[in-house]
Chains A and B, each alone.
Chain A
């Protein structure tokens, strides 16, 4: 299992052919209090970099992009009633979607944790 990061502050945790996607603690902190998350439908397909979800904070709306191409196999329904989970546990209970990867090689171009830390510092 490995965790990769995008420059747009999504994380992607890969287990076999499936990836769990969320936004980083840094992104959650920058957004402030999350009040609504709009998630895609299960079964929807996205290309790498497509707008996949929207996260609304008290400040503004921000798009969440698909870090890799794939088909949505699950969404985090808890966020509907408890969007604050994105702030409380951005890399755990605040996950957004699970994707079935269509091109695992796309992961190679993403940042590892050390590179992401450098990116935000």
Chain B
């Protein structure tokens, strides 16, 4: 038996009536009042997510060495800015996706990586760069997401309302030092907030004391990110996929493409130029939602596989992501998906399924 870990907010989740499930080695809240209600509340007001299972680290080593492992242009990352980037292996396969930011002025970089990959990522970064990489074990991470998140948060944290999408900084809430970025994983405006573990529960209680904020579990986190067209590592991308196949070339900074100096650049740029054989697309359908692993059929032949799928509460129907033969990766292309032995009609659709509502300033 392996012991599952608990985040600093575990007791609060239980008190709030969460259904707890093991996820990436942690006991995490799947849902509180129900996935559909939580999903809709996040789209309509504001939702509070515990994402403390994710890996946080402070990197103060050589930035050129770190840059060699990822796809961002760190020299263009100014203090107070954040980027979405990819950690690639030597063949250009995606080892993880992560957020890199500069909230501490000129004192290094703040990294946030996926829970399931954190041990692997940090060991890889440390081995390849020589560090120093300080893994942050004593801070919780929460996300406050939704159209009312900024109103709620900026009333408690002066200055937080001035951040725009993908900006970050160090702020204070009730005298507690918090690292804040204006970003998230729902397609909505909002913040991700790193809080010292000892003060995390008090601060989350304060956020929840605003009637517009409700706690949201992992179930709605998944349906929200899927509707927003955001990839889930280990499902919509992994080491067998390159950014060209995952349609994530936008996360490969232009100067890095021009210099061809990101991991696996020769292979990835060739694949991008020639068009990869398969690529990631969105799809919609009626009836039962296709789930991960379902086969995609066109004219009787297998042409792809579903990597994420489920019901989209805001869309009001099934949505998903899949890898398909690139020739079929055109919106409105009719396909079939094999569900319990029966071929069901579906069609390729543009992502995001629900318009992203990030705050980019006035």
Q: Is B331 an interface residue (CB 8 A)?
A: no
Q: Are A58 and B310 in contact (CB under 8 A)?
A: yes
Task: Check B198 for interface membership: any CB of A closer than 8 A.
Answer: no
Q: In the complex the two chains form, is B34's CB within 8 Å of A33's CB? A: yes
Say whether A112 faces chain B, with CB atoms less than 8 Å apart.
no
* Binary A-proximity of B25-41 (CB < 8 A = 1, otherwise 0): 00000110011110100
What are 27 residue pairs bridging A and B, where the CB atoms are less than 8 Å apart in the complex? Answer: A32-B31, A32-B34, A32-B35, A33-B34, A33-B35, A33-B37, A35-B289, A36-B287, A36-B288, A36-B289, A36-B311, A36-B318, A54-B288, A54-B340, A56-B288, A56-B311, A58-B35, A58-B39, A58-B219, A58-B223, A58-B311, A59-B35, A59-B219, A60-B291, A61-B288, A61-B289, A61-B291
Instruction: Show the binding face of B for A, using Cβ within 8 Å.
Output: 30-31, 34-37, 39, 219, 223, 287-289, 291, 310-311, 313, 318, 340
Whether the Cβ atoms of A33 and B36 lie closer than 8 Å is: yes
Report whether over half of chain A's contact residues are helix, strand or loop; otherwise say mixed: strand
In the complex formed, the residue of A with least CB distance to B36 is A33
Could you say which residues of chain A place their CB within 8 Å of the CB of B310? 58
Known interface pairs A36-B288, A61-B291; 17 further A-B residue pairs with C-beta atoms within 8 A, sorted by A's residue number: A32-B31, A32-B35, A32-B36, A33-B37, A35-B289, A35-B311, A54-B288, A54-B340, A56-B288, A56-B289, A56-B311, A58-B35, A58-B39, A58-B223, A58-B310, A58-B311, A61-B288
CB-CB nearest in chain A for B289 = A56
**B287 partner residues in chain A, CB cutoff 8 A:** 36, 38
User: How many pairs, one residue from A and one from B, have CB atoms within 8 Å of each other in the complex?
Assistant: 38
Contact: A38 with B291, CB < 8 Å? Answer: no
Q: Chain A residues with Cβ under 8 A from B291's Cβ?
A: 60-61
Contacts of A61 in B (CB 8 A): 288-289, 291
Residues from chain B with a CB closer than 8 A to the CB of A54 are: 288, 340
With A32-B35, A58-B223 given, is the CB distance from A38 to B288 under 8 Å? yes
Q: Give bound CA distance, A35 to B39, whole Å.
A: 14
Question: Shortest CB–CB separation between residue B235 and chain A, in angstroms?
Answer: 15
How many A residues have CB within 8 A of the partner chain?
11
A100–chain B nearest beta-carbon distance, Å: 25
Q: Identify the closest chain A residue to B37 (Cβ).
A: A33
- CB nearest neighbor in B for A84: B36
**Which of chain A's residues 10-43 have a Cβ closer than 8 Å to chain B?**
32-33, 35-36, 38
Shortest beta-carbon distance from B354 to chain A in Å: 15
CA distance A33 to B39 in the complex (A): 11
Q: Which residue of B lies closest to A37 (CB)?
A: B288
In the complex, residue of chain A having the shortest beta-carbon distance to the beta carbon of B316: A35
Report whether B36 and A58 are in contact in the complex, using a CB–CB cutoff of 8 Å.
Answer: yes
Complex: A56 Cα to B34 Cα, angstroms: 15
A59 to B291 Cα, complex, angstroms: 10
Chain B residues lying within 8 Å of A36, measured Cβ to Cβ, are: 287-289, 311, 318
B292 to chain A, nearest CB (A): 11
Cα distance, A105 to B39, chains bound together (Å): 46
A contact residues around B34 at 8 Å (CB): 32-33
How far in angstroms is the closest Cβ of chain B from A27?
Answer: 15
